[in-house]
Structure 1
């Protein structure tokens, strides 16, 4: 099965497709850094760096499966979608590039990934009607990455679009949860004292709460709702585009490394990332977890 990857980012969708036995023949993103590292990890695909609203779809190779992760910031509650930010309107509009690509190529199937709030978008009825007008039946699946062997609770929505009379419900078998202990390396990283001068009072309070709940070793979030810490013996919470998770070990603590974030997302250990930590974390926080993409694509292939 030949696949193309729109809004390819770090390459999680492409990596999952490759795990499922697909050949990724084309990938595009508007961010040069993302294209650079997608190409480093998927050298066999053609790469384009551009705004996909302006794509020339005639230059895209023939394919059987279209993968797409339109911008999610305008839908996500975490980014304040109701705040009237015009950038969110612009980000939501990226979903129309999927319709444009499908109108030209009409592959047999597509999988579109986003946050579950995508289904609440004011224009979702119009978007889904456009997809249906092209002959696609839509089947949304809300999936937690932890159910697919990823050591992270990450809930995302995958819309399966097929040229079939009725929507296809995937038979997705849950896998055993993998704990955070699988990727945290206590012998690595740059540690500092928990109670060091200048440490924020809110951080110290989170650490105290974590100790009461989990003992000496646990994960602590710098923002979000994890005020009591998180056990190392369960999957970590969502990896985001900026540093969120600290590892606490007795009287010392540190942020997760980019390599640990890579493992928490389910990418292979050899997957090439930017050397700058901030860039690597940003790419990973926007990515699709490869094992989830693998399982979705395998279930889709079994169903069609």
Structure 2
């Protein structure tokens, strides 16, 4: 017996446990005509298979937009969680499916589902895959920039660890804390390990602490190769003060605050002005 869609979802409380159903298969493969026939024939869209995976999880994980639309229209639980605590929105963000993300958010999917010890937020998932368009959508819906995952840290940590510079820029422009820590590691520590000069430059421009030490008492520069461009860049900025442009940018950001910066980013302002305020 299916649970009332109006009730909050907990593990295993919708549909019945079963092996992977035909609805799951059709949703996964993008067989929208077959899926519609199954729905019209009375098949459950909230049947949970192994690991509490619903057809909506399957469709989102593979970016099957039309199937997602059909499932939601038929009453699929938009925030259903699988055994790891992931929602369909997490899966859509992981897949980088902008259209699926839009559909889920339009149907009330939570941009900030409660985190468990085994799951990351939708914003973490989008950053992990380097899906900057999804990151922008989530931030626009109020996704928490400082959502903390025990394993990964903040979304900015994730974006830096996976070398996704565009996601890093989107997060920082929206007001993410550049010096957030996990086990004393900052995003700059991750960037230094990757040896990506552009990534390091972006973080430093936003005021990353070059002298921060992690749990091993290492600074970011300690993770670079001596004589390499990343090492030279970090050493230079360790021993030289910030430029007037950098200091002005940081001061403006502090005065405006996160909310104002988000609004500025949505306005039709010449990029040269935005770059002064936020760095592009």
TM-score bin (small chain) = under 0.3
Higher share of residues assigned helix = 2
TM norm structure 2: 0.27
- Give 1 or 2 for the bigger CA radius of gyration: 2
Greater RCO structure (CA 8 Å; 6+ sep): 1
TM norm structure 1: 0.25
